[in-house]
Structure 1
Amino acid sequence: MIKEQFNLIHISEVMDQLDVSRSTIDRWRKTKQLPSVKIGKEIYFDKNEVMRWYRQFGQVRQSSPVLTANQTITIGYTTVSTHMWGPLIIKEFGFLEQELRRIRPKDRIEIKWHKAKDGMELIKGMIAGNIHFATFGDYALSVSHMISTMLPDYRPILLAAGGKSAKGDGFGMVVPTDLTLQSIGDLATLPIATTFRTNAEYRLRKMLESHHMTDLNIIHRSIEESMESLRQGRLSASIMWEPFLSLAHHQQIGKSIFNQELGLGFIANVVADERWVLDHEDLVVAYLKAHMQANRLIREQPHQAAKVFALETGFPLEVVSRSISKIRWDAALYSNDLKMLNYFDPSKYFGPSTPPLVSSEIRYNIKYLRIAAQELKLPNLPATPIDGAWPKDIHY
């Protein structure tokens, strides 16, 4: 057919892909000269021309009064979990620099990388306006949302997923290899180590509460201290996540149990402040393209990615390879992902002085990820989170 021959798409497809109404498309054709062609009574568009026009004249603005030609974009990241390692690939292979040179060839935009010890440090940097994009975990996202209800000028918005793992894969309780526990009730006699006010502690307490075990001996230690105590035989149980689960297996210092009981899977998140996003939409699309390119490299060249991760984190290459193979590298947002993200209420364990989390759901915006996917010629993303299970053959 003629439309396939000339790469044409119907006006209804443009409305769906750009998430706008027919009246908006008609207005753009009339006032902003959106290129189109009429075949009979139907209106069609060249797909490539639509995206080029959209970047220049549509909802994604090419320039911004806020970011001048010689300013800086700061990318915040942390290496505390394998799920959050995507920015290391963006950094190593210069994916973001490539996109910036393409869309801002005359501008000198410096990229700075801020390595944080945890998600809370990244949130503080975002609140201060010192970090523009950050990748952190699901619990930290909930904390960020909770803080935004108390600080009206802080409006974090979820733009894409980072690494994600299904239930039973993201977290586990590590115990000595010679220790046998038949049920969660057997934990009643053991001290359990976990990191303080983190995803790990939240999941542990939720699991114990579900079994009416609220008075156990929970001790707070860094995960590195817990690893060393397990190695020396001075600890009976610790809540861990990747890559530490793989490290414990590799060094034969413990085994992982109760993975399913510790709740939902684990997902990292790409987040920015909404005000900054609205002022720099072309840069947001550029970063998300770099993010999806990093995901593709990890999926298709895992050994090359593992070498980068091992060098940055200091973990053995075998441990890194094992760890990244357990994780789905997919930027798309699924309905089930959002359900999991809205599962957390960090105020519950922050102390009595902390107001409870407002019931509103985590805020997200898929528009920029959809545009980035289109420019990378990936399968079209719908305008709403994808329903159903993660597909095996489609990744973003």
Structure 2
Amino acid sequence: MTDDSPRHGGALPSRRALLRAGATLAAGLACALPARAAERTLRLSYQRSSTLLTVLKAKGTLDERLKPLGFAPSWHLFTDVLGPMNAGAVDLHADVADAIPIFTQAANAPLTFYARERGAPSAEAIIVPEASPIRTVADLKGRTVGVSRGSGCHFVLAAALKRAGLAFSDIKPAYLQAPEGAAAFEQGSLDAWVIWDPFLAIAQSKRPVRVIADATGLSSYHRYYLANDAFVAAHPEVVAAVFDALSEAGRWVKQNPEPAAALLAPLWGDLPQPVVAAVNARRTYAVEPVERDGLGEQQAIADTFREAGLIPLAIDATAVRIWQPPAGRG
């Protein structure tokens, strides 16, 4: 018996007729329903130290904020952010300390500043073991000092030495990335270490240390948020939504220190909550627009790095592309 044979005393429609009817119905529904734009992906990078981006990711905030705009977030964790920034590997990049944009600008990376966190100079410091005879920056003469080459701490060390009447050549720099520096400091291979949070807070939690200077008076330690030029030009409404979400996340962290530490501790490699709380207490997490006349410290860093041969040419650190939030934001 075939499908188009009569049953129950009546003729059933043929398969061809059913297909024709189904096609007509589908066409009718397509005309009746509003067209839905295909969802696009917003690619974001972040680091372990990207507090506010980590909060947004953990809470799913951007999933909610971006959906009405036709976007969904895609998260990419990087330990070395400079390469992805120069290559334009994502749309919105991880927040970075003040030194990193100097290198991206020197490389002519197509990046736009769209936000920054207000300065937190106590989050960068020169530390020594508590039992060390070193009491001041001047006492670093002839000593081995660990520092990450080309970092904001590199600038802080150079500026601190200059303020103390010393040249960089008066010390023995040990150029180490933060994890290697942590191991060397703990093993006693360094006389002093220049480091930022959360590594600073971790070192302070492991053994008695003394801060002989932090970045106060030398560097504000702003953290900057940058995006690819083409994405900012094409989707300023998405950038605005992310800016607002970052601002709200910053207020939440400062207003809810215990829940914030509990949220972040496992995401930062199972750090003890008191360590996370110490980091959050030092950072302001106050997200604000970038103002061109507020980039003077960037110029000081650029000049120092040029003198040290870290960038190939002199640059105007204020000659960067800046996105400003719409009136009423920020």
TM-score where L is the length of structure 2: 0.79
With 260-269 and 92-101 compared, the bigger mean Cα shift is at: 260-269
Q: Render the CA deviation track for 1:280-317: whole Å, top value 9, x for unaligned.
A: 11111111122112112112212222122211112211
Aligned in 2, Cα 1:308/1:248: closer, same or farther, shift over 3 Å? same
Hey, what's the Cα distance between the residues in 2 that align with 1:128 and 1:350? 25
Q: How does 1:30-45 map to 2 (within 5 A)?
A: none
Q: How does 1:3-22 map to 2 (within 5 A)?
A: none
Question: What percentage of residue pairs aligned between the two structures are identical?
Answer: 17
User: Is the Cα–Cα contact under 8 Å of residues 245 and 256 in structure 1 kept in the other structure?
Assistant: no
| Unmatched runs of 5 consecutive residues or more in structure 1 | 1-67, 149-153, 374-380, 382-396
Counterpart in 2 of 1:95?
Answer: 61
Secondary structure of the structure 2 residue equivalent to 1:69 = coil
Counterpart in 2 of 1:246?
Answer: 201
Aligned in 2, Cα 1:131/1:184: closer, same or farther, shift over 3 Å? same
User: Is the Cα–Cα contact under 8 Å of residues 160 and 331 in structure 1 kept in the other structure?
Assistant: yes
Aligned in 2, Cα 1:288/1:242: closer, same or farther, shift over 3 Å? same
Hey, what's the Cα distance between the residues in 1 that align with 2:76 and 2:105? 21
Q: Render the CA deviation track for 1:246-297: whole Å, top value 9, x for unaligned.
A: 2222222422212157711211111112321111111111111221121121
Counterpart in 2 of 1:329?
Answer: 285
Q: Which has the larger radius of gyration?
A: 2
Hey, what's the Cα distance between the residues in 1 that align with 2:323 and 2:274? 37
User: Is the Cα–Cα contact under 8 Å of residues 163 and 268 in structure 1 kept in the other structure?
Assistant: yes
1:156 deviates by 1.5
The alignment covers a number of residue pairs equal to 288
| Unmatched runs of 5 consecutive residues or more in structure 2 | 1-36
Aligned in 2, Cα 1:226/1:130: closer, same or farther, shift over 3 Å? closer
1:230 deviates by 2.5
Structure 1 outlier segments of 4+, above 6 Å: none
Match of 1:290 among 245, 248, 260: 245
Counterpart in 2 of 1:212?
Answer: 166
Q: Render the CA deviation track for 1:114-157: whole Å, top value 9, x for unaligned.
A: 11113313413xx3353334321111122222222xxxxx4322
Match of 2:307 among 348, 351, 367: 348
User: Is the Cα–Cα contact under 8 Å of residues 91 and 228 in structure 2 kept in the other structure?
Assistant: no
Hey, what's the Cα distance between the residues in 1 that align with 2:268 and 2:224? 20
Q: Render the CA deviation track for 1:141-198: whole Å, top value 9, x for unaligned.
A: 22222222xxxxx4322111136314xx131111111013243222113111111222
RMSD over equivalenced CA pairs, Å: 2.4
1:222 deviates by 2.2
Q: How does 1:59-70 map to 2 (within 5 A)?
A: 69-70=38-39
Q: How does 1:1-396 map to 2 (within 5 A)?
A: 69-79=38-48, 81=49, 84-101=50-67, 103-104=68-69, 107=70, 109-124=71-86, 127-148=87-108, 154-162=109-117, 164-166=119-121, 169-210=122-163, 211-215=165-169, 216-260=171-215, 263-314=218-269, 315-333=271-289, 337-345=294-302, 346-351=305-310, 354-358=312-316, 360-368=318-326, 370=327, 373=329, 381=330
